[in-house]
């Protein structure tokens, strides 16, 4: 089965090789054929009329938007008017929003067609997509393994060719880690670059909407339409949005990439280190200069994150009590039992764990000892990056510690699960843009490389990744699930 890039689909639509309706039907058929093995989608078959409208528009006039008729998937954390939005939770199992998230509305305005809502860790809390109320998502490279989380459904859908591109969210690595585990490209933009309005909140100072795609070029095409200031979002930043796709071919010779010694301390497996070394050699051939740097406080990222994020989660999820919306239990005798039962049944184990942790660190007597101290360390991490970017353009490092692990392997060990984000969390704490792109395989499992840039320098990330993908073909590798289906055919 051939996977189509967004760029290829644009050309196919423009040349009348396929209609938007035929394209929608093609991907709907793929979802029906393959998603029983992956469980990547929660809701499907939701916008066929939009595809037919795109075709009608084409008949009247040439395609006036780069995204007209382009199908995409969206993580089930983005509100979609009239379409169920569950956040992977029993608490919101039947919630139908009356409005669209800003990024969804912008894509709709540009003519993009929503294929379905993808599975995710409950309320975006997890690194393996095993905390979803709707069941685990499976990795198309090995269905016994995790696709990563929390945007694992979006990652699996793109990797398996069930959608050409998908929206995800990244709070501590939830786009980049799944991208690495599934062999695709994943971008977390600068905090404030894409509107958070209509994106159900987990940790408000960390969450950011982003993209999972087959290539940097596809990512650039979608980011142009998604990004930009939104008066409905108080955290949105009024910063000009470049036409990213128009500058991907800019010369990168002489760019300086920093290699943090803290990221290369010997803790990675030798095979992964060899892939990174090979990638560095490829970048050097493109004219990139490398320099060793230090991020001395980066080792505090994980403990800092797991104080700040649960604290914000505790506050954001307080609204889910079954009164206005959310799961509501029946035959309750008093108000206290009503609240307690709704939240006990409506939330899964990991969400409850983080709510309890967050409530604890915000409580009287512990706020200064934990939350306030974590915010101070967060500033130290931010300052480390600021100093590093005085002498380098980009920072390079691993995306994950290992390749995708087996489902069930870490679900009962929260600390081990949390350490999956050890290389990605720092970018969220500092609000920096970061991208993961595939760099090769070990024992038939994909690995990714992470690039981090200064604030609002997404173009640098896309430019470098695009140039890398022009001289390598790791991003074109087909998952085992698709190869097996071709053999059967």
Residues annotated as catalytic are 75, 150, 174
Three-state secondary-structure class, residue 269: coil
Measured CA to CA, the distance from residue 113 to residue 247 in angstroms comes to 26
Q: How many CA atoms lie within 13 A of 276 on its CB side?
A: 23
Query: Could you tell me which residues come within 8 angstroms of residue 297 by beta carbon, excluding any fewer than 6 positions away?
Result: 377, 380, 381, 383, 384
Contact 5, 23 (CB under 8 A): no
Tokens of 430: 């500092």
Cβ-Cβ contacts under 8 Å for 66 (sequence gap 6 or more): 10, 110, 221, 224, 225, 245
Tokens of 146: 């995790």
Structure tokens at 332: 């309750």
Count of CB atoms situated within 10 Å of the CB of 50: 18
Asked whether the CA dihedral 416, 481, 152, 299 is positive or negative, the reply is: positive
Please tell me what DSSP assigns to residue 145. Answer: B
301-316 and 373-388 helices, crossing angle to 10°:
120
Q: What's the CA gap between 139 and 154, in Å, rounded? A: 11
Check if the beta carbon of residue 38 is closer than 8 Å to that of residue 138: yes
Q: Any idea how long the chain is?
A: 489
Query: Do the Cβ atoms of 165 and 211 come closer than 8 Å?
Result: yes
Query: Could you please report the per-residue DSSP string of 396-415?
Result: EEES-SSSPPBTTSSTT-HH
Taking each helix axis from N to C end, the angle separating 48-60 and 20-38, rounded to the nearest 10 degrees, works out to: 160
Instruction: Decide: helix, strand or coil at residue 2.
Output: coil
CA distance 111 to 127: 32
Sign of CA dihedral 459, 462, 465, 471: negative
Number of separate helices (H) and strands (E) present in the chain: 16, 11
Phi and psi at residue 473, to the nearest 5°: -130, 20
Strand-pairing partners, residue 114, are 72
Structure tokens at 163: 């959608």
CA distance 374 to 321: 29
């Amino acid at each position: 089965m051939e996977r189509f890039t967004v760029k290829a689909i644009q050309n196919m639509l423009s040349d009348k090789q396929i209609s938007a309706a035929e394209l929608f039907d093609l991907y709907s058929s793929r979802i029906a054929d393959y998603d029983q093995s992956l469980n990547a989608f929660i809701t499907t078959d939701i916008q066929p009329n939009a595809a037919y409208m795109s075709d009608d528009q084409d008949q009247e006039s040439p395609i006036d938007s780069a995204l007209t008729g382009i199908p995409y998937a969206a993580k089930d954390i983005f509100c979609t008017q009239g379409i169920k939005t569950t956040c992977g939770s029993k608490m919101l199992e039947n919630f139908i929003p009356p409005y669209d998230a800003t990024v969804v509305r912008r894509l709709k305005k540009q003519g993009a067609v929503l294929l379905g809502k993808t599975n995710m860790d409950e309320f975006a809390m997890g690194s393996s997509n095993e905390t979803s109320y709707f069941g685990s998502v499976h990795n198309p490279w090995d269905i016994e393994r995790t696709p990563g989380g929390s945007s694992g459904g979006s990652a699996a859908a793109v990797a398996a060719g069930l959608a050409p591109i998908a929206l995800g969210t990244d709070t501590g690595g939830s786009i980049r880690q799944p991208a690495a585990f599934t062999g695709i490209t994943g971008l977390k933009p600068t905090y404030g670059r894409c509107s958070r309005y209509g994106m159900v909140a987990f940790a408000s100072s960390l969450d950011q909407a982003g993209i999972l795609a087959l290539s940097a070029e596809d990512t650039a095409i979608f980011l142009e339409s998604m990004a930009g200031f939104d008066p409905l979002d108080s955290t949105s930043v009024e910063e000009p949005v470049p036409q990213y796709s128009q500058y991907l071919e800019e010369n990168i010779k002489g760019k300086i990439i920093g290699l943090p010694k803290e990221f290369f301390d010997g803790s990675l497996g030798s095979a992964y280190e060899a892939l990174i070394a090979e990638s560095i050699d490829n970048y050097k051939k493109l004219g990139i200069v490398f320099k060793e740097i230090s991020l001395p406080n980066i080792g505090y990222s994980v403990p800092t994150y797991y104080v700040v994020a649960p604290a914000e989660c505790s506050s954001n999820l307080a609204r889910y009590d079954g009164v206005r919306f959310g799961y509501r239990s029946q035959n309750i005798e008093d108000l206290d039992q009503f609240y307690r039962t709704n939240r006990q049944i409506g939330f899964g184990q990991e969400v409850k764990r983080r709510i309890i942790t967050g409530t604890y660190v915000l409580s009287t007597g512990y706020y200064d000892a934990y939350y306030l101290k974590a915010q101070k360390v967060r500033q130290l991490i931010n300052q480390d990056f600021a100093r590093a970017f005085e002498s380098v353009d980009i920072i390079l490092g691993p995306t994950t510690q290992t390749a995708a692990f087996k489902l069930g392997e870490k679900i009962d060990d929260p600390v081990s699960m949390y350490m999956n984000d050890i290389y990605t969390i720092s970018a969220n704490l500092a609000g920096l843009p970061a991208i993961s792109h595939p760099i090769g395989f070990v024992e038939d499992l994909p690995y990714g490389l992470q690039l981090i840039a200064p604030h609002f320098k997404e173009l640098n990330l896309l430019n470098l990744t695009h140039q890398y993908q022009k001289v390598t073909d790791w991003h074109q590798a087909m998952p085992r699930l698709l190869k097996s289906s071709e053999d059967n055919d």
